[in-house]
Structure 1
Amino acid sequence: MSYSLRNYQIDLIKGIRESMLAGHRRIMVQSPPRSGKTVVMATIAKQATDKGRQVLFFSHRKEINEQVAETFKRGGVDLFRVTIGTVGSLVRKLSKLPPPDLILVDEAHHIKASQYQTILKYFSQACQLFFTGTPIRLDGSGFHDLAEDLVTGKSIRWLQESGNIAPFQYYSINLLDMAKLKKRSGEFTNNSVDEALDFKTVHGDYISHYERLAKGKQAIVYAHSVEYAERVAKRFSDHGYQSAIVSGKTPQSERESLMEAFRQGRLTIMVNVNLFTEGIDLPGVDVCIMLRPTASLSLYLQFAMRALNPREGKTAILIDHVGNHLRHGLPNDDRDWSLDGVKKTKKASEKSPVTCDECFATFYREKMEDGKCPYCGFEMVKKKTIEDLEREETDGELVEINQGMEFVWLNGEQVEVKREEAVVYRRVMTYGRQYSKCQNLAELKAFRLIHGYAPGWLWHKQKELNIWRN
């Protein structure tokens, strides 16, 4: 075997073995992206083939399977007793496959899909291990109906603190109008993302922010459509960065050539659509730029974790232009996984992330010292959320929140406003310092109050933006 297991990987294998000894035959195995699940699967596969047992591995992408085959080979797995294939290729020839004793599925949060179920039901006599970083469906539900047990690995936070995953700095610089996002089948539609990103104009801020935060570092950019990705790649190229785009429509030979160029560092910016989210190792990537909003926690974590391969002295840069952290929290939040779904576990000091108005770094309040941003030292006003206020105690009694009213913090002061006005304030807070994103007078007024600008500021900006009515 050309690699050695880390202690947390040994513990994961031990947990799987104990579950199997307890009689479970369909086991969901959770371990974060970048934690080395492929090495764990290779070790389990070797133990099985050494005993003369047949193994079936499958996933939904050819690139994942190629990496798994290479890892199995390096790990000393008897490949004559292993079948590796994509879901689409295997489902058409089930009767011709050697019956497996053990099935390994990677990126197994997809297993509810019909082709996965066809394979798993056809070989129902086999022991089935479902590996994923996120055992959760798009609607937030889990897999209690498809798995008998859940074995969980170490958390992202633990892996970072132990040096197994790179630390990161998270920046939130919103470039879209979240009010325009619409969902279909649980995910944001491409048409609504086009509108939210003002697709008919050039949104240039992502270039300047990349140059300010991570200039010259290799970055992977996530976009929602091929057309938008092409615009993004062209703009990076126009600014002197070697850039390319890959998507599911990119011919296989061209995709492989671009991936190899990216791995070798000959490309600086790789813009992609629906690729490089799962199971692909890109060790040189230091930066993740999110230009695609997603309602999927699984997809969000795949985005964020792609840049977290560890390297001596490395700190990854995650730039969120679409408010994904507002939906899902920060990537290394503690999450309580179960077969029923996930519940994010918050510490008392971690009610909601804070974004610095000066440098746009996003972090939890516990990171602040003396009310200052831990990244740039900007002095910040500690703002309380509605959740904080509802739990705040006065003389042993909870503060009463009047029906139809909510508290918001405006320029450091607690103010009670109508609930519909609070919605406007929360939306405007996502604009950062970009007052030009205000769509009407109500938003512009809220923007002035949030930032503590003088009344005259409002008149000048109304004139500049030609906003005169709510």
Structure 2
Amino acid sequence: MTYKLRDYQQQASDAAVRFFSDKHKKRNAIEVLPTGAGKSLVIADIASRLEGHTLVFQPSKEILEQNYLKLCSYGVMDCSIFSASFGRKDIARITFATIGSVRHHPELFQHFRNIIIDECHLVNPKEGMYKEFLSMLNCKVLGLTATPYRLSSSRDYGAMLKFITRTRPCVFSEVIYQVQISTLLDMGYLSKLNYYPMNPVGWNELNLKANTTGADFTDRSVVREYERIDFYGFLVSIVRRLLNPKAGGKRKGILVFTRFLKEAERLTQSIPGTAIVSGDTPKATREMILRQFKAGEIPVVANVGVLTTGFDYPELDTIVMARPTMSLALWYQIVGRAIRPHPSKEAGWIVDLCGNLKRFGEVKDLRLVDGGNGKWAVYSKGRQLTNVRF
């Protein structure tokens, strides 16, 4: 089975092949493709075209399987999986792997020429498994991500989001291709999103305190604000209204993102048929819940800290953001669960209960801007969101 790439996908693949083929380019690079852009298809096309052995990293078993199967569907047979979670440790011309499985075996990959890292914003430029492994191989590295920034904090400068090509030290030095979210929306490749900011009465963000890293709000301050205004009861009332909306038709699935288990449990106690998915949910149970959710047998899934990446359900049309966050990446990843288009979906609904829309804006307004000399930054309606202090 073959695929015809969209124009921007072809451009991304061509740019990557040129990058790996150019012997004068010594520095590592990134490509920025929005959520829903078809990154697994682009990775498959790049890997199938490269000469020499190529190692493709994914951050999770789910994404690895998605990328591997996409390449197999091309009819490429000389590919394999090296991952303990799959119970497979095979090496081929194109090897899909998780970093935890290969970190202690760099000698097995000394003959590899190319490395592709999916979700490359997860690479810690200062320390960690990726940095350790990459230092032992003489390979060019290309990263792909929808969120090209990492949190950085210091005693002198406080906390800020830094574009990953501007961290010191940095793993990736340049952007060789990017496409804006608004471009894909205008072309009809992403679903239209309708936003509904619905802060509870009395909600006061000034009561929320940043944690010591500046990465997000403290658990204690969030809980105190929830309890002060009975956020739990408000959340139940909103989800009930969404189950029977006055306009817009019945929703195909309501995915609620909560910070703590307490809000999720309140939903299951108050709304029959609600299911909870969390980091503690056994794999088999989680797969069953998601299968029933997609089939329409479960109307509401309360998600506690998971399903932000790798959860592919294009029909999903309603997200309730029931947690405040200071993380632009988390906001974008969550909203992105509803941005994939589907013929039966006129528009996705993003119901924000905690002021995140005011903090970050709509994802269509996020823009990558090159300030010259490689000084990339992310903006929203003219306001700079990266490389500025919180």
Pairwise same-fold verdict (TM > 0.5): yes
| Contact 1:55/1:101, CA 8 A, preserved across alignment | yes
Distance 2:102 2:277 in 1: 25
Letter in 1 for 2:162: S
In structure 1, how many angstroms separate the alpha carbons of the residues matched to 2:116 and 2:299? 34
Q: Is the 8 A contact 2:28 2:174 kept in 1?
A: yes
Tell me the equivalent position of 1:179: 206
Q: Is the alpha carbon distance of 1:132 and 1:90 closer, same or farther for their aligned partners in structure 2, counting shifts above 3 Å?
A: same
2:239 to 207, 213, 230: 207
Contact 1:135–1:337 (Cα < 8 Å) also in 2: no
Q: Name the CA shift for 1:47/1:173 in 2 (closer, same or farther; >3 Å).
A: same
Contact between 1:247 and 1:273, CA under 8 Å: does it hold in 2? yes
Alpha-carbon deviation of 1:117? 1.8
Bigger Rg over Cα: 1
Partner of 1:363: none
The 1:274/1:3 distance shift into structure 2, 3 A limit, reads: farther
Query: Would you say 1:188 and 2:217 are equivalent positions?
Result: yes
Matches within 5 A, 1:38-117: 38-48=40-50, 51=51, 53-77=52-76, 78-79=78-79, 80-97=92-109, 99-112=111-124, 114-117=128-131
Cα pair 1:102 1:128 within 8 Å, conserved: yes
Q: Output the amino acid matched with 1:221.
A: V
Amino acid at match of 1:34: G
Q: Which residue of 1 aligns with 2:86?
A: none
Please provide the CA RMSD for this pair: 2.5
Distance 1:199 1:10 in 2: 52
1:21-40, CA deviations, whole angstroms, 9 ceiling, x for partnerless residues?
36144111111111111110
Counterpart among 130, 134, 152 of residue 120 in structure 1: 134
Q: Secondary structure at the match of 1:250?
A: coil
Give the letter aligned to residue 91 of structure 1.
R
Which whole-Å deviations, capped at 9, do the CAs of 1:142-174 have from their partners, x for residues lacking one?
223221211333211111111100111111001
Per-residue deviation, residues 223-264 of structure 1 (Å, max 9, x unmatched): 112333222344332xxxx32111211112222222222333
1:320/1:200 CA distance change after superposition, 3 Å: closer
User: Does residue 1:332 correspond to 2:364, yes or no?
Assistant: yes
Q: Is 1:282 the counterpart of 2:313 in the alignment?
A: yes
Match of 1:142 among 147, 163, 167: 163
8 A Cα contact 2:30 2:143, kept in partner: yes
Aligned equivalents of 2:10 and 2:353: distance in 1? 38
* Corresponding letter in the other structure for 1:231: R
| Runs of 4+ more than 4 Å apart | 96-99, 337-341
Aligned amino acid, residue 69 of structure 1? Y
C-alpha distance 225-38 of structure 1, shift in aligned 2 (>3 A): same
- Provide the C-alpha distance between the structure 2 equivalents of 1:258 and 1:91, rounded to a whole number of angstroms: 33
Partner amino acid for 1:333? D
Counterpart residue number, 1:26: 28
Check 1:173–1:273 CA distance in 2 against 1; reply closer, same or farther (3 A cut).
same
Q: TM-score, normalised by structure 1?
A: 0.67
Summarize deviations over 1:402-451 as a string: whole Å, max 9, x none: xxxxxxxxxxxxxxxxxxxxxxxxxxxxxxxxxxxxxxxxxxxxxxxxxx
| SS at structure 2 position matched to 1:23 | coil
1:196 deviates by 2.4
Q: 1:298 to 1:115 in 2, by over 3 A?
A: same
State percent identity of aligned pairs: 28
Q: Which moved more, 1:319-328 or 1:181-190?
A: 181-190
Give 1:63-462 correspondences, 5 Å limit.
63-77=62-76, 78-79=78-79, 80-97=92-109, 99-112=111-124, 114-123=128-137, 125-138=138-151, 139-144=160-165, 145-175=170-200, 176-184=203-211, 185=213, 186-198=215-227, 201=230, 202-204=232-234, 205-211=237-243, 212=245, 215-237=250-272, 242-312=273-343, 314-337=346-369, 340=375, 342-344=377-379, 346=381
Do the aligned partners of 2:19 and 2:25 also contact (CA within 8 Å) in 1? yes
Aligned CA distance change for structure 1 residues 225 and 13 (closer, same or farther; 3 Å): same
Please give the alpha-carbon distance, in whole angstroms, between the structure 1 residues aligned to 2:260 and 2:175: 35
The residue aligned with 1:37 is 39
1:270-302 C-alpha deviation (Å, 9 max, x unpaired):
221222111331122111110122211111111
Q: TM-score, normalised by structure 2?
A: 0.80
Give the aligned partner of residue 428 of structure 1.
Answer: none
- Aligned amino acid, residue 207 of structure 2: K
Structure 1 residue runs without a partner (length 5+): 352-470
The count of corresponding residues between Structure 1 and Structure 2 is 341
Kept in 2: contact 1:233–1:269 (CA 8 A): no
Quick one: distance in 1 between partners of 2:358 and 2:229? Answer: 26
Question: Residue 6 of structure 1 aligns with which residue?
Answer: 6
Hey, what does 2:85 align to over in structure 1? none
Q: 1:324 to 1:152 in 2, by over 3 A?
A: farther
Q: Which amino acid aligns with 2:163?
A: G
CA distance in 1, matches of 2:288, 2:302: 15
Per-residue deviation, 1:70: 1.4
Contact 2:315–2:342 (CA<8 Å) still a contact in 1? no
Query: How far apart in 2 are the matches of 1:290 and 1:345?
Result: 19
SS at match of 2:350: strand
- Measured in 2, the distance between the counterparts of 1:314 and 1:288 equals 15
Bigger Cα displacement from structure 2, 164-173 vs 154-163: 154-163
